[in-house]
Amino acid sequence: MNRQFLLAARPRGWVKESDFSYQETAIPVCDSGQILVRTKYISLDPSMRGQMENRADYAAPLNIGDVMRASGCPVAYLVGFKEFYSLRFDVSEHVLIPRPETEFVVIAVLDIVKEHFNSDTNGQSIPCHVVDVGTGSGAIAITLATELSRIQVTAVDLSTAAL
């Protein structure tokens, strides 16, 4: 049985028992040659609350061969994705895994664009073009394009496998 405590309501002030709901669901059945990977989110840090909401406690079943090949590899490579800036990105051994610290780079670029590329003295929007060289998973480029639809983003990578 999959037992989960999920956020029932976004906590205001101190976290209370009523902010959570308890739920039990059946554990997914694995096909022959697959295993089940259990994931945990244990944090009351406000920045982690999005990770705790409406999430299954188990990842989709994986082939045993995938797990055996991934021995010693990061979990993101094992499950094939990584969350970055509240967006989900596919990752493989061909790209670097987006790191939480890289979100600070995105925030810095967003601040610069908002400060220097809002509008000129005539109220006209100033064009802004961002180039992400060595984009890999595209986490920076896609996040910037998602957050600021008025900028033009070009993402390039030497590796075709990464793209």
Taking residues 92-108, report their average pLDDT: 89
Taking residues 133-147, report their average pLDDT: 90
Write down the pTM of the prediction: 0.54
Which residue is listed with tokens 């639809």?
A: 149
Q: Give pLDDT, residue 88.
A: 92
Spatial contact of 113 and 128, defined as CB atoms under 8 Å apart = yes
In terms of pLDDT, which residue wins out, 132 or 18?
132
pLDDT in tens, 3-25: 776 777 666 777 777 877 788 87
CA distance 103 to 163: 20
Q: Provide DSSP, 75-115.
A: HHHHHTEEEETTEEEE--TTSPPPPTTHHHHHHHHHHHHHH
pLDDT in tens, 33-83: 666 666 555 554 555 445 545 455 445 555 555 554 545 677 788 788 899
Q: Give pLDDT, residue 68.
A: 47
Q: Give pLDDT, residue 162.
A: 75
74-163 is classed in which CATH architecture? 3-Layer(aba) Sandwich (3.40)
pLDDT in tens, 142-158: 999 999 878 889 999 88
In terms of pLDDT, which residue wins out, 98 or 2?
98
Q: Give pLDDT, residue 116.
A: 79
Hey, where are the domains in the chain? Answer: 1-69, 74-163
